Amino acid sequence: MSTLEKPTMSRRTILQAAAIGATAIDPALRSVVYAAGSDAPEKTEVKIGFIPLTDCASVVMASVLGFDQKYGVKIIPTKEASWAGVRDKLVNGELDFAHVLYGLVYGVHLGTAGPKKDMAVLMNLNNNGQAISLSKALADKGAVDGPSLAKLMAKEKREYTFAGTFPTGTHAMWMHYWLAAAGINPLSEAKLITVPPPQMVANMRVGNMDGFCVGEPWNHRAIMDGIGITANTTQDIWKDHPEKVLGTTAEFVKKYPNTTRAVMMAVLEASKWIDAGLQNKLKMAETVAQKAYINTSVDAINQRILGRYQNGLGKTWDDPNHMKFYNDGAVNFPYLSDGMWFLTQHKRWGLLKDHPDYLGVAKQVNRIDLYKDVASAMKVPVPKDAMRSSKLMDGVVWDGKDPKKYADGFKIKA
């Protein structure tokens, strides 16, 4: 992780600024929100699509706590049934923004995930906090992690089915990566299907899949319901990995730049609020558990957002790398190298036939210019470098310097 430049504004000043209502926006913030010269956001009511997952929380809380009104917009969170639905509604303009899978945005931008349209990643919404779940039936046979799953699959030959949530999305890529790291070829030795997040547990219950990768609370829900175990968290695969983003179309950003900044500020402030303390996290869990949002019990959500994990086999642990929404600004910066990583995996698994212009595409999609505007106004620290370096679970280092070599360098690939 690059060193973050620390803000100069004191916590007290930030809290004072946070207390200012919609009718009295801090002048320093106003000057950036309305940088294009207009006196207000061009569009004052925006629809933001979300899928029922814990990491939709910053979008929901921006609306519930009124941070949106502070910046002159009204956010209408819109619950969606599937990532394909989110994609379609973003592309046709039914949604203005979405809480969305990183790789979905890139898939649409390059036309590898349905209709092709120029897209924008505005900011990261969270790091970490997804997991790989295996069925209790597999666990009872000794398959409790990647290596033991590979051993069972070699011994008991049959078709093994695993689910992700969207073909180019984060969960599909984590599942592919995890299987391959255990020596299992996800293309030839397993069947991968797509299932919307809220339907994962029900599908595993009736035996439709042997395992899945999804965001919380559905991994913990599988444990609570006695049908699955957590084999690995996604932070085991890549510590502080990018996950959901605030996404929109390039067309929307061009047409409504002030609205875009205003929404980013509201969501960034909500991200900061969630991570500010235990009580805020618990309040967030109570809110998003409601029927209008995730529609589950609070106890399915509130343990893992605090880093309190259990695997369904009697093991419990405190994970410092649990889901983060802000983490002193480290979460939200849209690193170019993060976007490029998803492209390397799309190439690795045959979703892209040829190497794209990795850096060029990331510069088109990730709107670092807008993010820096907003972060500067809100005194949120930003990294000095738009690339970062990470070592993943198989020991391979990703730093964005040679994406072609990286994508081609894996032993197991398409």
Query: Domain check: are 149 and 215 in the same one?
Result: yes
Query: Domain check: are 253 and 356 in the same one?
Result: yes
Query: Domain check: are 79 and 162 in the same one?
Result: no
Identify whether 394 is part of a domain. Answer: no
Give dist(CA 88, CA 110) in Å, integer.
15
Query: Domain check: are 172 and 225 in the same one?
Result: yes
Identify whether 401 is part of a domain. Answer: no
The pLDDT value recorded for residue 37 is 52
- Structure tokens belonging to residue 227: 């049908």
Identify whether 304 is part of a domain. Answer: yes
- Tally of domains within the chain: 2
Query: Domain check: are 257 and 353 in the same one?
Result: yes
The pLDDT value recorded for residue 38 is 59
| Strand partners for 50 | 79
Query: Domain check: are 185 and 209 in the same one?
Result: yes
Domain of 172, CATH number, reads 3.40.190.10
Identify whether 161 is part of a domain. Answer: yes
pLDDT tens, the chain, 414 aa long: 444 654 433 333 333 333 333 334 555 555 555 444 555 899 999 999 999 999 999 999 999 999 999 999 999 999 999 999 999 999 999 999 999 999 999 999 999 988 999 999 999 999 999 999 999 999 999 999 999 999 999 999 999 999 999 999 999 999 999 999 999 999 999 999 999 999 999 999 999 999 999 999 999 999 999 999 999 999 999 999 999 999 999 999 999 999 999 999 999 999 999 999 999 999 999 999 999 999 999 999 999 999 999 999 999 999 999 999 999 999 999 999 999 999 999 999 999 999 999 999 999 999 999 999 999 999 999 999 999 999 999 999 999 999 999 999 999 999
Query: Domain check: are 115 and 260 in the same one?
Result: yes
Domain that holds residue 57: 11-127+243-385
What secondary structure, in 3-state letters, does the chain show? Answer: CCCECCCCCCHHHHHHHHHCCCCCCCHHHHHHHCCCCCCCCCCCEEEEEECCCHHHHHHHHHHHCCHHHHCCCEEEEEECCCHHHHHHHHHHCCCCEEEEEHHHHHHHHHCCCCCCCCEEEEEECCECCEEEEEEHHHHHCCCCCHHHHHHHHHHCCCCCEEEECCCCCHHHHHHHHHHHHCCCCCCCCCEEEECCHHHHHHHHHCCCCCEEEEECCHHHHHHHCCCEEEEEEHHHHCCCCECEEEEEEHHHHHHCHHHHHHHHHHHHHHHHHHCCCHHHHHHHHHHHCCCCCCCCCHHHCCCHHHCEEECCCCCEEECCCCCECCHHHCCCCCCHHHHHHHHHHHHHCCCCCCCCCHHHHHHHHECHHHHHHHHHHCCCCCECCCCCCEECCCCCEECCCCHHHHHHCCCCCC
> Long-range contacts made by residues 405-409, C-beta under 8 angstroms, separation at least 24?
406/344, 407/343, 407/344, 407/345, 407/347, 407/348, 407/355
Identify whether 392 is part of a domain. Answer: no
The pLDDT value recorded for residue 283 is 98
The pLDDT value recorded for residue 32 is 53
Identify whether 393 is part of a domain. Answer: no
- Structure tokens belonging to residue 70: 């502070």
Q: Roughly how many angstroms between the first and final C-alpha of the chain, as a whole number?
A: 30
Q: Which of 237, 253, 277 is the last residue of a domain?
A: 237
The pLDDT value recorded for residue 222 is 98
Query: Domain check: are 272 and 376 in the same one?
Result: yes
Query: Domain check: are 267 and 318 in the same one?
Result: yes
Q: Which of 198, 214, 237 is the last residue of a domain?
A: 237
Identify whether 226 is part of a domain. Answer: yes
Query: Domain check: are 158 and 259 in the same one?
Result: no
**208: Cβ–Cβ under 8 A, 6 or more apart, which residues?**
161, 163, 193, 195
Identify whether 407 is part of a domain. Answer: no
Query: Domain check: are 252 and 360 in the same one?
Result: yes
Q: Is the dihedral of CA 305, 215, 249, 110 positive or negative?
A: positive
Q: Which of 237, 254, 270 is the last residue of a domain?
A: 237
Query: Domain check: are 206 and 252 in the same one?
Result: no
Give dist(CA 226, CA 273) in Å, integer.
33
